């Protein structure tokens, strides 16, 4: 990730209140290998059950309100990293999910109004981290996002929280 901008194609999963049990079901919790987690992502989310088998490498996921609410399970983050998802932009995130993602080096961007943003699958998006703005390069539309806190960027730049632990 460049420090200033992130460019990637969009993948829309605009659903509110997606619980971790809809991202990675509790019956699978003894699975920890990222490649084994990968095919199960959204396995319990109506309308998106085929996501696990799709190729969304290098994309930015767009989600609704309270994404990732529910349990503390790390697999609900690991699975998106296994899919090669670059970042997730959402209306809002469950607080535990937010920290789990940052700790694993997955950038989450809060953008109230993103559900109404004019964007479709595979549009080319740009996240301008310095200006806190998201731009759809295909139609020129833009939307403000919350400023990404510096400590969050530091953790992601370090390659995740565990790396910081080596020197603390």
| Residues β-bridged to residue 109 | 89
55 or 150: CB nearest another protein: 150
CB of 17 to another protein, least distance (A): 6
Separation between Cα atoms, residue 31 and residue 48, nearest integer Å: 21
Among 56, 94, 114, 145, binds another protein (CB under 8 A): 94
Residue with tokens 């390069």: 137
Q: Does 21 bind another protein (CB under 8 A)?
A: yes
Tally Cβ neighbours within 10 Å of residue 139. 12
Separation between Cα atoms, residue 77 and residue 72, nearest integer Å: 10
Q: Does 77 bind another protein (CB under 8 A)?
A: yes
Among 98, 107, 114, 127, binds another protein (CB under 8 A): 98
Q: Phi, psi at residue 152, to the nearest 5°?
A: -65, -45
Among 40, 73, 83, 86, binds another protein (CB under 8 A): 73
Q: Does 93 bind another protein (CB under 8 A)?
A: yes
Q: Does 104 bind another protein (CB under 8 A)?
A: yes
């Amino acid at each position: 990730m460049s420090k200033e901008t992130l460019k990637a194609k969009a993948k829309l999963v605009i659903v509110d209140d997606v619980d971790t049990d809809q991202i990675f079901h509790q019956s699978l919790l003894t699975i920890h290998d990222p490649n084994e987690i990968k095919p199960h992502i959204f396995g319990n989310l109506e309308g998106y059950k085929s996501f696990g088998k799709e190729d969304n490498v290098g994309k930015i996921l767009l989600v609704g309100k309270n994404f990732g609410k529910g349990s503390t399970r790390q697999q609900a983050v690991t699975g998106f990293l296994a899919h090669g998802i670059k970042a997730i932009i959402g209306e809002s995130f469950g607080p535990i999910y937010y920290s789990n993602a940052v700790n694993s080096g997955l950038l989450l961007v809060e953008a109230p109004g993103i559900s109404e943003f004019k964007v479709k699958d595979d549009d080319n998006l740009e996240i301008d981290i310095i200006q806190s703005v998201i731009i759809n390069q295909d139609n020129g539309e833009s939307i403000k996002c919350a400023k990404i806190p510096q400590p969050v960027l530091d953790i992601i730049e370090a390659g995740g929280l565990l790396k910081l632990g080596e020197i603390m």
